[in-house]
Structure 1
Amino acid sequence: MLTALIMAGGSGERFWPLSTPTKPKQLLSLFSDKSMIRETVDRILPIISADKIFIATNILQVKEIKRELPDIPEENIIIEPTFKDTAAAIGYTSMIIQEKFKFQSEKIEVVVLASDHLIKDDETFRQILLKGAQEARENSTIVTLGIEPDKPETGYGYIEVENNDDLFLNNVYRVRRFREKPNKETAEEYVSSGKYLWNSGMFIFTIDTIFKNFEVLMPEHMEILNKIRIEVCKNKMGLDLSESIKEEFEKFEKISIDFGLMEHSKNIKVIPVSIGWNDIGSFTALEEIFSSDETGNIIRNTKEVIIHNAKDNIVICNDCTVSLLGVNNLIIIKNGDNILISNKENAQDIKKIVSKYNQLKNCKK
């Protein structure tokens, strides 16, 4: 039985000021009239029904997520008491899924997806999920999707494939190891070798397999999960469940599933895919999605723009007129009373401004 876990607890700080704590990137409509999380759910509905889709989030976002996803059962929207990274979130939500379907005789497969990724080839994506679920079910493996790289990207982690021949898309291969984000020279070596894929952060496993891996590789996490299970089995939900397990949840080490489990497990498989994937990690990712004007400017959701001797800028200014004069390679974003002006080179550091912005707000209270 195929289920899905959509991770939707991120703050999306690199998209400030469009993104806020209560309406982060996954709740923005960046590419269509739908939010990114709505796009994510709609993408898998043809193969996974709404009652089998679970959302892991936090108390700040739960109200807006319920509004965006009225077809998802309320008990399937899981509120994490505090952020302890993906190992805790995946273990906790897998336990809730297991409890909900405990009377099912078949194995339960879980597809773990981000709520804020762009995927253009939905049909191929769904076919790969079904293939990965079959592999996970039949061979008790954890399957990850590896993106075929088209450039030496330094912003992604890489997956080294255990194979001496050429890699073929949509085939299943054993993973040799995971690699952290490389420098430019190393990334060029990875791509030219043909043995490396971008780590998409998407996983498929059966619940039995993931808990066996937790028991062996993360026994402290498993011990906490077993204590939390007592409350999960009482049929609590939402904020009631979140508050009842908060004390135990805070004991989790803050660690990602990649560091805690994936990099150490001996039975990881990967499927190389080309599905038009982009993790939309910062505003500069929009350059890969949208067409620019004749001078390289990308203008979105702006009432009117006046340009003279300005090129390669990204402008999103809801319902206002923007004039660009003699400026290049800037990110200019307006949302409400907040305006961001940044060089593209600093796009990954926008969260530093968010930190200072929050400090300023707290000082004025």
Structure 2
Amino acid sequence: MTSHPSVVPVILCGGAGTRLWPVSRKTLPKQFKPLLGDASLLQDAALRVRGDGFESPLIVTAEPFRFIVAEQLEAVGITLGDLLVEPEPRNTAPAVLAAALWCASRDPDALMLVMPSDHQIPDGDAFRDTVAAAIPAAQSGKIVTFGVPPTTPETGYGYLELAEGAPMSSGEPMPLRGFVEKPDLAGAQQMLDGGHHLWNAGIFLFSAEAILQAYAEHAPDMLATVTRAVDGARADLSFTRLEANAWRTAENISVDYAIMEKAQNLVVMPLAARWSDLGGWASVWQESERDASGNALVGQSTALSCQGSLLRSDSNGIHLVGIGLKDMIVVTTADAVLVAPMSESSRVGEVVAALKAKAVSQAEASSRDLRPWGWYESIASGDGFQVKRIFVKPGALISLQSHNHRAEHWIVVAGTAHVTIGEEVRMVTANQSVYVPVGERHRVENRGKLPVTLIEVQTGAYLGEDDIIRYDDAYGRA
């Protein structure tokens, strides 16, 4: 891709991914997980648009994910262009508009490739070739949407209806008759048999000028609101935080409903590559490597006399064994287990809603809580105590803080930590421990080149994470 202007990849990275619970949760959704292979879906998406013809990616993400986005891209050698932080989720229409305004402020003719962060497209070369073939249409002012020739009567996808006479496969964008909502099985089968519909992949290519004109025509109120949010944005370390008051008044609506279904300059480009939105465990099973009996085995898992099943263990301490299972999904993490027939995989979102109604923490919170300095996870808890494992990355430091209701005992089990307690700073190595009294200011810093792992034992009447008073923080958190 060297004979055309560079394309700015815009990766939308704010979804919750509840249909892949318990692996994907609100605090750490599926785009950050290695569901297929060693790389996360976000990393795969960014690598798909790296190289000649592509600028550094522009990421639009939610506030809790800003550090993990930067960390995951850095881990695979991706230079982050800009990262826009949404103060709160407002769906894809405001997110796309914020990215367009940001790009237009630098180059109104910029070509933008808008794509989700959590889809699976194994053939990166075919994807890039398809994008390249669509560029002339985008340069001429068209809004290009990408559609996938269907292979099954899928009821979980929206569809794109081709204009009369347009071929199912083409090397260039084609006229589009309209959008079709997710159908029932009979409707999906009819569209598959008819040969005039494509799966809606939710990927778009357009110039910043063309999409801003579309917003001005079809969503002028949103254009005014999001413009204020972008104009009022402020730098936050290496990120850009959109202005919160304006942002929260933007309509919560998808870009399909707000713009694409109304635009008259829309064309569709068939995507000649295998694609999945990985919208449920059945999709993950379909895209996974399977044994001769059709079983996908992930992590520490063993199948005996099983057929067509997914067995996935996402916990190093749990070995999952299935016996005599047929067309089943069994997924285990450190703190939750999902067992369901493959045919019921689309109902996993209902599980999350049911758990939330019962105030079950596993509904949204992961057992491992990521922080810009590393992570922690709860090992054990009881009346008046909690035990955590804490991992501090090289060069990272926890905020200077205190607690009103708990004391802490720290035991370093790996690495060397510099620990601040009150006015004293001491070096603590493996097999050494320190005590932090209630109310005392404290911090852990890793000045070395190896990670620091410590065990923290909390004792007190209240052990909630909101009992933190921060006095200094390298990561700009309030």
Regarding TM over 0.5, the answer is yes
Aligned to 2:39: 34
Aligned to 2:308: 312
Aligned to 1:127: 129
The residue type paired with residue 265 of structure 1 is A
Aligned to 2:13: 8
CA apart distance, 1:276 = 1.1
Aligned to 2:64: 60
CA deviation vs aligned residue, 1:19-73 (integer Å, no higher than 9, x gap): 233321111112222111111111111235453x111111121121111012555
Percent sequence identity over matched residues? 23
Aligned to 2:222: 221
CA deviation vs aligned residue, 1:244-279 (integer Å, no higher than 9, x gap): 611111111111000111001111000112201111
Aligned to 1:111: 113
Contact 1:4 1:48 in 2 (8 A): no
CA deviation vs aligned residue, 1:169-208 (integer Å, no higher than 9, x gap): 3222111111101111111221222211110000011111
CA apart distance, 1:88 = 0.5
CA deviation vs aligned residue, 1:315-358 (integer Å, no higher than 9, x gap): 10133333323433221111112211222222122122223434
- Structure 1 Cα separation of the partners of residues 116 and 91 of structure 2: 13
SS at match of 2:14: coil
The 5 A counterparts of 1:80-159 are 80-99=86-105, 101-102=106-107, 107-138=109-140, 140-159=141-160
Aligned to 1:192: 193
- Structure 2 Cα separation of the partners of residues 130 and 327 of structure 1: 45
RMSD: 2.4
- Structure 2 Cα separation of the partners of residues 73 and 290 of structure 1: 29
The residue type paired with residue 279 of structure 1 is D
SS at match of 2:235: coil
Aligned to 2:334: 336
Aligned to 1:256: 254
Structure with bigger RCO (C-alpha 8 Å, 6+ apart): 1
Where is the strand percentage greater, Structure 1 or Structure 2? 2
SS at match of 1:117: coil
Aligned to 2:275: 277
Aligned to 1:22: 27
Contact 1:331 1:340 in 2 (8 A): yes
Question: 5+ unaligned residues in a row in structure 1: which ranges?
Answer: none
The residue type paired with residue 347 of structure 1 is S
Aligned length: 354
Contact 1:74 1:238 in 2 (8 A): no
Contact 2:229 2:244 in 1 (8 A): no
The residue type paired with residue 131 of structure 1 is A
Q: Determine whether 1:361 maps to 2:357.
A: no
- Structure 2 Cα separation of the partners of residues 298 and 340 of structure 1: 15
Contact 2:93 2:258 in 1 (8 A): yes
CA apart distance, 1:15 = 1.5
CA gap 1:216/1:331 in 2 versus in 1, 3 angstroms: same
CA gap 1:345/1:107 in 2 versus in 1, 3 angstroms: same
- Structure 1 Cα separation of the partners of residues 67 and 8 of structure 2: 23
CA deviation vs aligned residue, 1:151-171 (integer Å, no higher than 9, x gap): 221111111111325333322
The residue type paired with residue 292 of structure 1 is R
SS at match of 1:32: coil
CA gap 1:294/1:236 in 2 versus in 1, 3 angstroms: closer
SS at match of 2:232: helix
CA gap 1:209/1:238 in 2 versus in 1, 3 angstroms: farther
Q: Which region of structure 1 is more displaced relative to structure 2, 262-271 or 121-130?
A: 121-130
CA apart distance, 1:301 = 1.1
- Structure 1 Cα separation of the partners of residues 88 and 192 of structure 2: 38
Contact 1:21 1:60 in 2 (8 A): no
Moved over 6 A (4+): 362-365
The residue type paired with residue 17 of structure 1 is P
CA deviation vs aligned residue, 1:92-129 (integer Å, no higher than 9, x gap): 12112222x24xxx720100011111112211211211
Q: Which region of structure 1 is more displaced relative to structure 2, 74-83 or 171-180?
A: 74-83
- Structure 1 Cα separation of the partners of residues 120 and 330 of structure 2: 22
The residue type paired with residue 357 of structure 1 is L
Q: TM-score scaled to structure 2, two decimals?
A: 0.69
Q: Which region of structure 1 is more displaced relative to structure 2, 248-257 or 318-327?
A: 318-327
- Structure 2 Cα separation of the partners of residues 362 and 36 of structure 1: 22
Contact 1:85 1:254 in 2 (8 A): yes
- Structure 1 Cα separation of the partners of residues 279 and 151 of structure 2: 17
**Matching residue within 36, 39, 44 for 2:49:** 44
Aligned to 1:325: 323
Contact 2:331 2:339 in 1 (8 A): yes
CA gap 1:50/1:166 in 2 versus in 1, 3 angstroms: closer
Aligned to 2:167: 166
Aligned to 2:395: none
Q: Which region of structure 1 is more displaced relative to structure 2, 271-280 or 260-269?
A: 271-280
